[in-house]
Structure formats: C-alpha cells, structure tokens
C-alpha cells in the first residue's frame, strides 16, 4: 500500500482505519507539501513507527483520543504520535519483550534518526521520531 499510495495517503488510510476499528478519536495533521523523491526506507520507517504506535495505543493505552503529526522540512521528516491514555512507565521502555519498541528504535537509528518515547503532557504516551530526509539514491550514514 505504501508503494502504491505514497506515505501521506497510506498514513491517512492507516489512521482512519485505526480510528474506525478502535473507537479512539484520532486527529491527523499532515505536512502541506508533498513528499516527492523520498527514500523508500525513510517512508517505510515513518509508516512503521506510526503503525506500531497506533497498535500500542490500542493494546495498552486505554486512551480516548490520539494525535498524529507528520512534519517535513528540507532536511528531515518528523512524526509524533500522542495519546491521552494511562501513559508508559520507564520500566516498559526497556523490557526485553517490547519487540515493537525495539523494532521502532532500530529502524530509526539505522537511518541516522532519533526516537524518543516518553510521557505526554496530556498524561498518555508520546512517540517522537526524526529521520533525515534521504533521497532515493542516498545511503544511510
């Protein structure tokens, strides 16, 4: 789907489907500019961070609302996913069975990005990732 629709349309579909299936109200904010020429690995990583974050909200958060913000600059892409649920505790961040969190972290770090998972101001959890906006011909650092 990501290859066929592109990152913005695939993210929109994923968020809408999540809201319908989970009953959680989700607000999605997308960048105004199109994301032309974006490296497939970067787009895939952003999509997987979004997918895993929404899965964790559905499984663990006990949230009523979630907010997804995709941002883009000339240098990088940002994704932020936040909920108003119970919030993650420090011990959960590093549990060996948290394969989804490990997978997100490894994907983002491999491409030279950063990932932060923390308590959100609304009381839930916030996942923030920033990835360099590699072009299709560039390799990770």
pLDDT tens figures, 87-137: 887 666 656 566 788 899 999 999 999 999 999 988 899 999 999 986 555
Tell me the CATH number of domain 2-132, given options 3.40.190.10, 2.40.170.20, 3.10.450.30, 3.30.565.10.
Answer: 3.30.565.10
Give percent of the chain above pLDDT 70.
88
**Single pTM value for the model:** 0.90
Largest interatomic CA distance in the chain: 42
More confident residue, 5 or 107: 107
**What are the domain boundaries of the chain?**
2-132
Percent of the chain at pLDDT > 90 equals 68
Q: How many whole angstroms separate alpha carbon 108 and alpha carbon 123? A: 25
- Average pLDDT over the chain, rounded to an integer: 89
Q: By the 8 A CB rule, do 111 and 86 touch?
A: no
How would you classify the pairing of strands 25-29 and 114-119? unpaired
């Amino acid at each position: 789907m990501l290859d066929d629709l592109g990152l913005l349309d695939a993210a929109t579909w994923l968020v809408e489907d999540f809201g319908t299936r989970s009953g959680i109200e989700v607000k999605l904010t997308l960048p105004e500019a199109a994301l032309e020429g974006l490296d497939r690995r970067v787009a895939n990583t952003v999509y997987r961070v979004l997918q895993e974050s929404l899965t964790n909200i559905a499984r663990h958060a006990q949230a009523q609302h979630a907010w997804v913000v995709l941002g883009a600059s000339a240098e990088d892409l940002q994704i932020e996913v936040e909920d108003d649920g119970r919030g993650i505790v420090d011990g959960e961040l590093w549990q060996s069975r948290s394969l989804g969190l490990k997978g997100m972290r490894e994907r983002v770090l491999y491409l030279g990005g950063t990932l932060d998972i923390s308590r959100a101001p609304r009381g839930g959890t916030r996942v923030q990732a920033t990835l360099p906006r590699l072009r299709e011909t560039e390799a990770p650092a």
